[in-house]
Structure 1
């Protein structure tokens, strides 16, 4: 078996509006509807709609031999419902071909697996309901945690929820001499299969494609095919995992990214012995080669491939801890609006904006942040959280 597994993360957060201290207690509307709508429509035009159409044409052209998979966060699905129903329809059309797999994840694109198993299960159930609602009862078999965050314990929780497999990062410090181009199993629950991202080949497309200072620029189809053919023949699966916004948003149309993707499947069929598979097909057809031991959580972010993009500095940890101190209060109050805001406040992007890293990773964080500084992101978030706490206390008092 020699196959390629394309996985695309599709996510947009609900961004907070500028929320000042003196608004606490008076304004319970936290979300920047103008920015969220505009960004969704911009990305829809530049990425989602043209790329979905391209993938649909490729699936039809190759009679289903070309396959991909998506993980659509609950927050992006909510935004598609509100701002861009034509985008949601285009994803439904792709899934209806039978050659596109959907993955389960946390509804709010949350870091809750690191804090609360109960909330983690609730978030996964909410996301599954959302997928079933929009995609004709579809029930995902494979899981993708927020930002590919994975550890032995997280994998064990996912296995208990009945999933066959999980996606994660092929981090060097975890793999050592091992290759990411095989199927592994969770070290606690071996029934859970683990697919690991080939970060070099994935990032050549996702991050380096349009970088003119890269020594291998420009990345042509022939060059990429050459790299694939250099992969040892015994390697079974090349997992190409990336943000879907790579196409047209992070890598602009002018870089040639759409033409590259249009030509790639045909070149792979003609010039290599690779096929295309979805994660479920990889899990079904490839035998695991052993356990992967991940005692400390890994992710697909930054050079370290750890959690420091979201957690670790004083700002991030204070905000994250304060948020999850409220879990029991939120669930006792049983208010749909409060619970919705609670889910959206968990979205990992809020903590990403508070990252204080420097150099190349810091530049990436600054690119995605709507704030002038991590400190501004923290203050804005904590102002919102202060109001949210007041609402919770008022809801508890009303129930008493």
Structure 2
């Protein structure tokens, strides 16, 4: 039986306010609260809230036969809690159905997997704990920022304890192979991989309301006929896209909600089902290994990381950011920790891309140009680095930092050991007290 795996990304960065050179050292608040609130509430009204309602209706209507998955960045969750809590409530209702899976990713929707393995590990752990707290699910599938993946990243993911991951079905990696199977990592054979079917995903995400497309209009019946007509041995169809496709990137007047509502009926008529990523990877064996020596993503035609690392501006900004990672991890100031997370979102570096300047994708940027984005970000980062160095100055070299980190880690382990011993002692004393009281009671009788 053929099965469709719908996965939706939800992410919104904390956009920076206009921060000038003269603000450095004087203003330590970096974020444009007005824009962040306005954008989140607009997208929630147009997309997230009606889409949540629609998916819940479909799940209830088809009684467990329709299923989807979500990956929601931690920075998006932080904004939803403040600006659109009803979105989180809707996602909780979806989680309670048992037919929606929540994946884990980097908390900041960051590029830490490319620059700082320890930060990558910490953010995945932080994100997984947040998902479990909010939705009562412990994620078992990892989705890296922008579906970024390589053999080296696979090693890191597997060492974190994950055996399931999703990424892009890049043509230059697959060659003649089809993305419509479960694969495994070449570097870590125990790590199963689900690959995005770019054609079918993009037909919905980008072409649905394109009047110039030769397949316009796209109907649910037509779409399902395409999937049904694929070779019978191809069983898995991974449709990965931004959740904003439903109602925002594809407006409601385009008919996108009606299209989604009709999909299950035509799918079931053709013997096509729906599954979550975990269900697919649990029920299908890998048919082969995928070797990815060079990093891939789901961005642009190249399916590489050039959207965030394609020019000197981006590389310089990322180098400056991650050079201070060890110092930030030593820091205990909550506001600094939070700013560190928010400054890592991949969007800040995407805005610096000269690939997209002057074309459609540049509309997502709040800046006049990539150079404007770079200057604003580096002004903010300069102030942030100054605050970090006030805590841990340049006179403390990396060896000293590592020694301090080791000492702190050892102290944490010792504290945990002593806490466990204390619990045992308290438990033993309570048992002795109960036994003593019982004896006294027996003596009186």
Q: Smaller-chain TM-score range?
A: over 0.9
Conserved in 2, the CA contact under 8 Å of 1:333 and 1:395?
yes
Q: Give, in whole Å, the separation in 1 of the partners of 2:259 and 2:209.
A: 11
- For normalisation by structure 1, the TM-score amounts to 0.97
Matched with 1:77 is: 77
Matched with 1:229 is: 228
Unaligned runs of 5+ in 2: 397-445
Matched with 2:375 is: 379
* 1:1-400 correspondence runs (5 A): 1-136=1-136, 138-270=137-269, 272-358=270-356, 363-396=359-392
3-state DSSP class of the match of 1:310? helix
1:189: Cα distance to partner?
1.0
Q: Give, in whole Å, the separation in 1 of the partners of 2:373 and 2:342.
A: 15
1:312: Cα distance to partner?
2.1
1:219: Cα distance to partner?
0.8
Q: Structure 1, residues 71-96: CA drift from partner, whole Å, max 9, x if none?
A: 01001100111111111100010011
1:281: Cα distance to partner?
0.3
3-state DSSP class of the match of 1:180? coil
Conserved in 1, the CA contact under 8 Å of 2:228 and 2:272?
no
3-state DSSP class of the match of 1:9? strand
1:334: Cα distance to partner?
2.4
Two-structure CA RMSD over aligned residues (Å):
1.4
3-state DSSP class of the match of 2:367? coil
Mean Cα displacement is larger for which, 196-205 or 226-235? 226-235
Q: Give, in whole Å, the separation in 2 of the partners of 1:203 and 1:184.
A: 21
Number of residue pairs matched by the alignment: 396
Q: Give, in whole Å, the separation in 2 of the partners of 1:161 and 1:96.
A: 27
Conserved in 1, the CA contact under 8 Å of 2:356 and 2:362?
no
3-state DSSP class of the match of 2:8? strand
1:391: Cα distance to partner?
0.6
Structure 1 or 2, whichever has the larger Rg, is 2
1:364: Cα distance to partner?
3.5
Q: Give, in whole Å, the separation in 2 of the partners of 1:348 and 1:88.
A: 23
3-state DSSP class of the match of 1:309? helix
Q: Give, in whole Å, the separation in 1 of the partners of 2:18 and 2:361.
A: 19
3-state DSSP class of the match of 2:29? coil
Structure 1 residue runs of 4 or more that deviate by more than 6 Å after TM superposition: none
Q: Structure 1, residues 139-171: CA drift from partner, whole Å, max 9, x if none?
A: 100000000001111112111111121111111
1:273: Cα distance to partner?
2.1
- For normalisation by structure 2, the TM-score amounts to 0.87
1:2: Cα distance to partner?
1.6
Q: Give, in whole Å, the separation in 1 of the partners of 2:356 and 2:276.
A: 37
Unaligned runs of 5+ in 1: none
Q: Structure 1, residues 187-220: CA drift from partner, whole Å, max 9, x if none?
A: 1111110000000000000011111111111111
